[in-house]
Structure 1
Amino acid sequence: MAFEPEDVTSQGTWEVLKELLDGRWLAILQHPCPFPAEIFEDVTLNLIRNPNINSSVLFRADILYDSVKQSGRDGHAAQPDVRHIREILQDHVVPHNGFPGFTLKRTFVRKMIPRNPELDKPVVQTCQVFQSNEMTDRQHTLVLYIPHVSSSSEIPWYHPNVQSLVCLHSWRFSNTKNHVLMLPDSSLSPSGSISVHYRLFRDQTLPLSDRLQRTACHLLSTIHKHGRGALEGYTKRVHHDQLISQQRLQDTYTRLKATHAKRLSDNWVEQTDSSKHVFEDLSIAAFLMELWRDMYRPAASCRASNSQGDSRPVFPGFVDLGCGNGVLVDILLREGYRGWGFDARNRKSWAVFEPSTQRQLKQMILVPQPLLEMNPKLGQKKEGDPTTLLSRLCPKASTSTKTSDTYIEWHNGIFPTGTFIISNHADELTPWTPLLAYLSSCPFLMIPCCSHNLSGLRFRAPSKFNSFSADTLAPSFFADSITKSKSVAITVAPENEEDDQPRQGSLKDLGPANRRKQPSAYAALCDWVSHLSRAVGYEVEKEMLRLPSTRNTGLIGRNLILGSEGLSPSERMDKVKAIAAKEGADGAVWFERAKSLMVGQGEKH
C-alpha cells in the first residue's frame, strides 16, 4: 500500500501546534501511525545519528555534542574537557524559549557530512527532543531540527530550505492515569499520528515549492516505515564499521575519490561498468589503508625518536590474488604502498596504467604448493619427454622461448613472510586464501564472491546444516543439474535427534522448518571459508564493507588463536594438506581448471 500522508498546509497551523507554538509554524503533512512514543523516539534518534538514511547525498553525521553522553546518564563517562564543551555549546546550541507543556529530554549538535564536498558543503544542526509533561489523554513527542545558518542562501542543497523543522508524534492512551495503550477499534483506530512542520524564513511565501513538499513526505515516510518495522520486531542484521570507524573510512574514501576517480573513469577501457568497479575498488582501498594504519607503522617512523614504544611492524608489502583489472593495485601503489598483483589473464586496463604500475601486474596462474605435493604426477616427466605436465602448461620464461599467450608463468602460493594477502572476488582462489596465508604466516583480507571448492570447481559451499566438510559430489552435480530453484546437491543434516547420519540430497529435501533457516549460497560460502580460516588457527574478523555490491562481506585474518603458533613450515604444510584432503581437493582437476582459465575457456568474473 502506497504511503499517502494528508496535506494539511491549506488548514494553516495544525491544532496541536497552534496550542503549543507560535503561529510561524506551518503544518505540512500528517499521517496515522500504529507505534507508540518510545518507538518514534528510537527511530528519530537513529535518523539523527544517520542522516544518510534519508538522503543519499549524505555520508554521515559527526556528533559534536550529546547532552546524555555528556552527563554520563547513558553509562558513558562524562567528557572531561569542560572548556571544549562550553565552546561547542556557545558556538552551536541555539537558544530557545522551550515549548509550553514540554520538557527538553536531549540535545544533539551534529555536523552533516556530504558525499561530495566539492558540490555540497557540511552544515551544523542542533537537534532537540521534547516530551509533553501534562497528564492528558494524549502524549506528544517533538523533535526539533535547527540548521545553523543566518539566511536561506546558506542552506545546502540536501537540507530543506527552511529556518527549522519539527517532527511531531501524538499518541492516545486508554487510561490517562495508568497510561495503558488504547487498543484500536473502528472509532479510535489508529491510536497515533506523525506530522512534519516547517518554520519558514521571513522572506519565504506560500505556496511551498514541490521540493519542500516532497522532502516532508520523504521524511515522514522514512519515520513511518522504520517505526512499523520496529513495531513488528525488525532488528538490524548488518552492522558496519566494526573494525574501522565510519568517519575514518569515509574521510579516506572521499580523499581517494577526489584524487583517483576521474583519472580512472576517463581512462576506462574495459567493457564492464566503470562507475561500479572504480568506486568499489576505491572503497576497498580506503578500508585497507585504514586497516594497515592500525596494523603497521609508517616506514619513516622507524627513524623517529618517538617510535621506541611502537611495537607495530613496518608495512611488509601486499599481493593481490586474481587482481583482475588492476585498479586496486594501482591505487595502493600510488598511495605509497609497495606490492603487486597477478591474474590468469592480462587485462586491457593494465596497458593504461603508468609503467611503474604495469611492472607490478603479472599474468600468471596459481597452483597451490599443497596440491603439487599431494599430486606428484603434476611434476613427473613422461618417458621420452623432458618436461613435466605443469611445465608444458605454463613454463617460466627462463625455461621456454615460446611466446604464445597460452604459456605463462605460475606461482605456488608461497609468499614472503608477513605479506598482506588481498583476495577480492578471487573466485577459485578464495578458499585457498587462508590456507596459503597460514603457510607463509601472512595476514589477509578476502571478499568472497562466487563459490568454488578447493579443486577450483563451482559448488554450493557447505553450511552449518551439513557440517564443515565440503560435499565432493556438489561440483559435478552443480555443473549438470543446477536449476533456478537452486536444487544443488548438499549433505542434509538430520532433522530428528534419533537420526545420527546425514543424507545426500538437494535443498528440496529439507523439511519446512530447516529450509526456512537454510542460508543463502553466499552466506554458506562465507561460513565455509571462515571455517577453513579457523581450522588453520586464524581468529576471523568480519566487516560488512561499504561497497556498491551485494558481495560486500570482508573476512580478515590477522591474528592466530592462542596455541596455533609455533609449528614448523613442514608441520604447517602437513596440516594444510590434511585439510585439503578432507575437503576433497584434487590437483588434476585444479590443473584442468587452470588450463581453461589460461586459454580463455573458463568463466570470467
Structure 2
Amino acid sequence: MIQCPANFPHEVFELAISQLIHHPEYNSTLILRSEIVSESATDFPPGIPTLDGFRAVRNIHRRLLPRRPGRDAGLEQHCTLYTAEPGDDDRPVLLVLTPIVEPAAPLPYYHPAVSYLAFRYIAAEVPLLRIEVVALPSTPTGLDSRLYRTCLALLDTLHRYGWGAVTNYKKRVHHDCIIPREAYQDLYLVMRERHKHLVNEWQEVTDPLKHVFEDIGIATFLMLLWKESYRSEREGSFSSEECQDLTVAPWKNWPRPPGGFLDLGCGNGLLTHILTAEGYEGHGIDVRARTSWSHYPEATRERLHTESMDPTELVDSDGLLRTHPYLHEGVFIIANHADELTPWTPVLATLFSASGYLSIPCCAWAFDESLNLGGDGSNASSYSRYRIWLATLSLHCGWQVECETLRIPSTRNWAIIGRNHAAGAQGEVENAKMRALEIIYRVQERGLFKARIPEGKVKDH
C-alpha cells in the first residue's frame, strides 16, 4: 500500500510496533483501549498466516474496546511478530494484525476492510517501513480510498514512534498517576450514558458538549478517588479487587468523604448535580445562581447556595474559627476553576480539618489579587509557575501533594490533590494549622482581599 524511509535502526522497530499493539487508541478516536487476552512465544493459533522467508516468534491476542459500545462492536485480533529467515535472531521485522471474526461477519467501522494488515521493516542501505494488506473483496485501494488514508496515518504513526525512540522522546504529560486508566475509562463510559441527556437539556449559553462531558469526567475521577482514599484495608485496592459490574451502580456503596463534599464556585452546578444524583452528599456554593439551577431536580436545588465566601472572616479576632454550614471536619473541598478561592483551598482544608481536596486551577490568583505572570504557553509559562506555587502552598499547609492530568476536554486539566497529611504526627498537623492561620492574619493585615458581592436573590437558593 505505502512505504517510506525508516530513519531508524532495526533494533528500534520492535519498540515502535509495541506502541501500536498496546495503544491502538492513539490511531483511532473510536477505540477506547486494548486488553491483552493472551501472549505466547511457542503456541501459535491456526488463523495466523504462514509466510515464506519469515518465522513467527510471538503472538499477542488482544481485544479492542470501542469508545462507544452502543454504536461500535468490540473486536479481537492476533498481533503476530515475525523474524526473517534464515537467522537465529528473534528480533521482529514484521507485524501482522489478523482480525478474529466469523466467516462473512462484518468488521467494526474503526477497523480497515482487510483480512490482514502488515507492518514491515525492510533492511537496506536506506531501510524502509512498508504497510501491506490483504483487502476484503471489492475494497477500494486507490489513493483516494479510505483504506489508503488509514494506511498513510498508520505509517506516519509508526515512523513517529520509531523516531521518538531514537531521539529519546519523553512524554510531557502523564495521565493515570493516581487512578488506573482502565478503572476510569470503564466508569466514565457508564457515567456518560447516565448523564449524556444533559447535553440536550443545557440551559446556559456555553458549549454543552464541553461542560457536560468535562464535569462527567471530573465526577468520575472523584468517585474513584474517594473509593480509593476512604476504603478500609479489607476492602482492597484497584490492583487487587475483582472487577465489579458497573451496570448495577456499585458506587452507591463505595467509600466516600466522611463529611461530604463542598464545591467552591460551583458555577452552573453541574458537578454538584452529577455527584448528588449518584448518591453523594454535598453542597455547591457560588456568588451567582445560574439559569441551570432552577432546572435541576429538587434534590440538587436544595444543595446549591448563593454565597460569597470571604476566608478572612472565618477567623475571629481571638484566632478561633467561626462555624460555617458547609465547611466542617471531614468535608472534601472541590475547587474546579474557583478563581480567587483557588489558593485558599489548601488553607481552608487545613483549618477545618477537611478529609482532602481537589483543585483544578485556571486563572492565576494570589490571596489578594489576580496575577499577570506572562509566559508563552510552554512548560515555563505562567500556568506552570502558578501550579508550582500552588503545590508549594499545599506543602506549606501540611498536605502531601499529588498531581494528575485529568482526562477531560479542557486545556486546564491539571489537578492538585491533597488527601494525606505530609506528616502524620499530631504536632505537625497543629503546626500546619498555625501556618494556615498565619496566612489569614497576613491577608487581614493587608486588607486587600475583597470577596465578591452575591448576586440574585439569596433566599431563592
- 1:594 maps to which residue? 452
Structure 1 residues 346-376: Cα deviation after superposition (integer angstroms, max 9, x where no partner):
1111111011100100010111147754799
The residue number in structure 1 matching 2:99 is 147
Structure-2 separation of matches of 1:220 and 1:586: 63
Runs of 5+ consecutive residues of structure 1 not aligned to the other structure: 1-27, 72-88, 173-187, 302-311, 377-409, 462-485, 488-506, 508-515, 601-605
Report the Cα distance in structure 1 between the residues aligned to 2:300 and 2:379, rounded to whole angstroms: 44
For the pair 1:365 / 2:223, whether they are aligned, the reply is no
Alpha-carbon distance in 2 for matches of 1:96, 1:65 = 15
Write out per-residue CA displacement over residues 430-455 of structure 1, whole angstroms, 9 at most, x where no aligned residue.
11111111112221111111110012
Q: Normalised by the size of structure 2, how large is the TM-score?
A: 0.84
Q: Structure 2 CA distance, aligned partners of 1:205 and 1:356? A: 55
1:436 aligns with 2:348: yes
Contact 1:319 1:422 in 2 (8 A): yes
Partner of 1:559: helix, strand, or coil?
A: strand
Partner-residue secondary structure (3-state), 1:557: strand
1:207–1:111: structure 2 CA closer, same or farther, 3 Å change rule? closer
Task: Report the Cα distance in structure 1 between the residues aligned to 2:257 and 2:315, rounded to whole angstroms.
Answer: 33
1:125-274 aligned within 5 A: 125-134=77-86, 141-151=93-103, 153-172=105-124, 188=125, 191-201=126-136, 203-204=137-138, 210-262=145-197, 264-274=198-208
Structure 2: gaps (5+ residues): 236-254, 457-461
CA shift for structure 1 position 460:
4.4
Distance change (3 Å), C-alpha of 1:418 and 1:352: same
**Contact 2:35/2:62 (<8 A) preserved:** yes
Letter in structure 2 aligned against 1:289: M
Q: Deviations over 1:186-205 (max 9, x none)?
A: xx5xx22111111233x446
- Note the aligned Cα RMSD (angstroms): 3.2
The 1:561/1:150 distance shift into structure 2, 3 A limit, reads same
2:416 aligned residue: 555
Q: Is 1:48 matched up with 2:21?
A: yes
1:65 to 1:351, Cα distance in 2 relative to 1, 3 A: same
User: Helix, strand or coil: the match of 1:589?
Assistant: coil
**CA distance, structure 2, for counterparts of residue 121 and residue 517 of structure 1:** 39
Cα contact 2:203–2:291 (8 A) shared by 1? yes
Match of 2:69 in 1: 117
1:61–1:111 CA contact under 8 A, matched in 2:
yes
Q: CA deviation at 1:274?
A: 0.5
Counterparts of 1:272-287 in structure 2, within 5 Å, are 272-287=206-221
Give the whole-Å Cα distance in 1 for the aligned partners of 2:17 and 2:353: 47
Once residues 285 and 454 of structure 1 are traced to their aligned partners in structure 2, the CA distance between those partners, rounded to angstroms, is: 27
8 Å Cα contact 2:330/2:353 also seen in 1: yes
Which one of the candidate residues 275, 278, 281 is aligned to 1:338?
281
- Cα–Cα, structure 1 residues 599 and 163, in superposed 2: closer, same or farther, change >3 Å? same
Distance 1:128 1:374 in 2: 73
2:3 paired residue among 30, 37, 58: 30
Distance change (3 Å), C-alpha of 1:599 and 1:332: closer
Cα shift at 1:576 = 0.8
Distance 1:413 1:228, change over 3 A: farther
Which residue matches 2:330?
418
- Cα distance in 2, alignment partners of residues 341 and 217 from structure 1: 49
Q: Which amino acid aligns with 1:158?
A: Y
1:164 & 1:271 partners in 2: Cα distance? 48
Contact conserved, 1:454 with 1:585, CA < 8 A, in 2? no
Distance 1:242 1:446 in 2: 16
* Shift of residue 106, structure 1, vs aligned partner: 2.9
- Relative distance call for 1:283 and 1:222 in structure 2 (3 A) is same
Q: TM-score, normalised by structure 1?
A: 0.65
| Partner Cα separation in structure 2 for residue 207 and residue 295 of structure 1 | 53
CA displacement at 1:227 relative to structure 2? 2.3
Report the more deviating stretch, 559-568 or 527-536: 559-568
Within 5 Å, give how 1:378-457 maps onto structure 2: 415-442=327-354, 443-455=356-368, 457=369
Specify which structure has the bigger relative contact order, considering alpha-carbon pairs within 8 angstroms and separated by 6 or more residues. 2
Q: How many residues align?
A: 431
